[in-house]
Amino acid sequence: MTGYLKQSPPALQFITFFGFFIGFMLIYNTALMLLMEPLTGHSLLDLQNGDIKDPNLIGYLKITQFLYSIVVYLVPAALFAYLWQPYPGSYLGLKPAPRALQILLALMAMYSITWFGGYLNNWNQTWNVPQAARDMQAQAEKLVGVMLHMPSVKDLFVNLMLMAIVPAIAEEVFFRGVFQRLLIQSTRRVWLSVFLTAVFFSFIHFEMLGFMVRVVLGFVLGAIYVLSGNLWLSIFAHILNNGSLVVMIYLFQQGIIKTDPTKDTPVEWYIALFSLVVSVGLLWALRQKSTPMLMTAPVQKADNDQIDDTGVDENQ
């Protein structure tokens, strides 16, 4: 169908997509710098140092988190999908709705992999990371800690929306719905593209001491999308990962549980291995209960040995 980005070479599609991403990021950052102090009476430096006592400023901080997810991730990806073809919902994998068994398998796979991710995270903590990177991460964790102070159930639900549901939707549409598909189309290597997307997903969070666990989680989210062809499953799994942490922090703050969920706990290698095996089995089961979306363009028979098993883009 003429007039849509699907007719453009993959390289041009990538350039267009990243142009949207960089452009909207610049718009967001510029608006934040220009409007923060006039609206709140505080500069960005006040937000960045994490020493926030004013409840209204905490509210503004949460709003900036919400707008970041929407403006930087969701809007560029949605705009690209809209321009890509006349059926953006189908392109992204948002139609049809997933079945209950698919949702259960995806959530179980995401939950199971957390121990394997925790094991790699223990190793990640031993990396020789520059002090500047450690300081930046500590500052980011301090800001998150301020936003996750939840004295009431209302605060819990607000944080679930702003820090679990909205970011999960925006990031999955951006990373899995568009970026991963473009990478698959360009490289014709499905699982390599899933891995590279997971690496980019982790890198862009700018937390080197949490790098490996995000790669693992990002890979599982990408695998869920590839194996099921349904982005809602990746979104639900992402919400489970983010939301469970928010809920556990709330329960800890209320004294209902005694273990601080923000503290790293050692994971034995055999538990991590069992976690990985179970997750792979659940992903295999998800594949059996799904019709994967075919994500690569048709090729000549002579090139077949250069392509992963997961397929042909039905929209081409």
Sign of CA dihedral 77, 97, 313, 225: positive
Any domain includes 306: no
Any domain includes 302: no
pLDDT tens digits, residue range 101-128?
999 999 999 999 999 999 999 999 888 8
Q: What is the dihedral of CA 251, 256, 259, 264, to 10 degrees?
A: -10
Asked if residues 114 and 28 have their Cβ atoms less than 8 Å apart, the reply is no
The predicted pLDDT at position 312 comes to 39
Any domain includes 152: yes
The predicted pLDDT at position 80 comes to 93
Any domain includes 142: yes
3-state secondary structure 97-134: CCCHHHHHHHHHHHHHHHHHHHHHHHHHCCCCCCHHHH
Split into its structural domains, the chain has a count of 1
The predicted pLDDT at position 316 comes to 37
The predicted pLDDT at position 76 comes to 96
Q: Give 107's contacts (C-beta < 8 A, 6+ positions apart).
A: 236, 237, 240
In angstroms, rounded to a whole number, what is the distance separating the alpha carbons of residues 68 and 167? Answer: 9
Question: Which amino acid type is present at position 286?
Answer: L
Domain around 183: 5-296
The predicted pLDDT at position 297 comes to 47
Any domain includes 301: no
Any domain includes 276: yes
Tokens of 36: 């923060």
The predicted pLDDT at position 46 comes to 64
Name the stretches of the chain with pLDDT < 70.
1-3, 5-6, 42-56, 293-316
The predicted pLDDT at position 305 comes to 42
Any domain includes 311: no
